[in-house]
Amino acid sequence: MRRGWKMALSGGLRCCRRVLSWVPVLVIVLVVLWSYYAYVFELCLVTVLSPAEKVIYLIFYHAIFVFFTWTYWKSIFTLPQQPNQKFHLSYTDKERYENEERPEVQKQMLVDMAKKLPVYTRTGSGAVRFCDRCHLIKPDRCHHCSVCAMCVLKMDHHCPWVNNCIGFSNYKFFLQFLAYSVLYCLYIATTVFSYFIKYWRGELPSVRSKFHVLFLLFVACMFFVSLVILFGYHCWLVSRNKTTLEAFCTPVFTSGPEKNGFNLGFIKNIQQVFGDNKKFWLIPVGSSPGDGHSFPMRSMNESQNPLLANEEPWEDNEDDNRDYPEVSSSLAVETET
């Protein structure tokens, strides 16, 4: 009876946490909806008197607004990608690993399994990176998100403002969202400023629109400052081909720690996020190269890293046909590196 109550309480708490996790997103949505009303109706249709100025303001505003909302949608609803079945322990290997009591033997078992996989990063102690929650050998740059209870390929961070884990599958969309958010706030601030001055000097009548215009400028400037700092930081990360986690914790390779282990040069680093085709760089469609499991490394020669050579990627092996356990899905702020 007591166990049943505990399970019911645990389930209720999980449900409450899921609901509350959408609160930051709801706040952003409400602010954006108000800004749309304030700009389109209170500024352009009520305050601005020139028809030509109304049209120009509205055309450019809606062009930016479409990309802003599109990238925000993609950041929220593009699910983080998990490692494929090749990295999961088979049912037999999982039982062997869990039944083995000697840590040194467990470590050697993981080393033997990792030899079949394109895994070049290690833990701080030099051991194979293994997730004991998902029961898999972590691909390079993959981390476990404790909020989402899953391992995420090329995990950057868990963002509460999109209620999603930012990683290989949606990092491009997140970066575009930051860029269009900065542009959105800047455009509003620059076009509203002249009318803010007119209201301040008393050149326009003190009507209801005055509050919306004044507050719109304040909110746009406030968000612009915070967003431009965050966007600048992520631009720096992209230029160095780093994730947020790698910026705080230097990745360890088989040869040792290397903070610039994935740095391929400025242009190639950008292409690692946006792809080779520049016509897709500004559009929120998937164009990042690779599958998120393996990444080019500048410290390894072509014979060690097939992604740097014109060779076929690692081949399937006979162990791939084994049955694998199911894996749960979600996202996270805290990570297990």
- Catalytic machinery residues: 159
Structure tokens at 249: 């914790």
N- to C-terminal Cα distance for the chain? 38
Structure tokens at 267: 């242009």
Q: DSSP letters of 76-126?
A: HHSPPPPP-GGGBPPHHHHHHHHH---HHHHHHHHHHHHTTTT--EE-TTS
Q: Would you call 310 helix, strand, or coil by DSSP?
A: coil
Contact 65/184 with Cβ under 8 angstroms? yes
Q: Cβ neighbours of residue 196 under 8 Å, at least 6 residues apart?
A: 213, 214, 217
Q: Which of 151, 141, 227 is nearest to 184 (CA)?
A: 227
Q: DSSP letters of 153-184?
A: TT--EEETTTTEEESTTTHHHHHHHHHHHHHH
Pairing of strands 143-145, 150-152: antiparallel
List Cα–Cα distances, 228 to 224, 271, 308, in angstroms. 6, 22, 34
Contact 138/129 with Cβ under 8 angstroms? yes
List Cα–Cα distances, 266 to 171, 230, 246, 283, in angstroms. 17, 19, 17, 21
Q: Which of 249, 265, 268, 245 is nearest to 257 (CA)?
A: 249
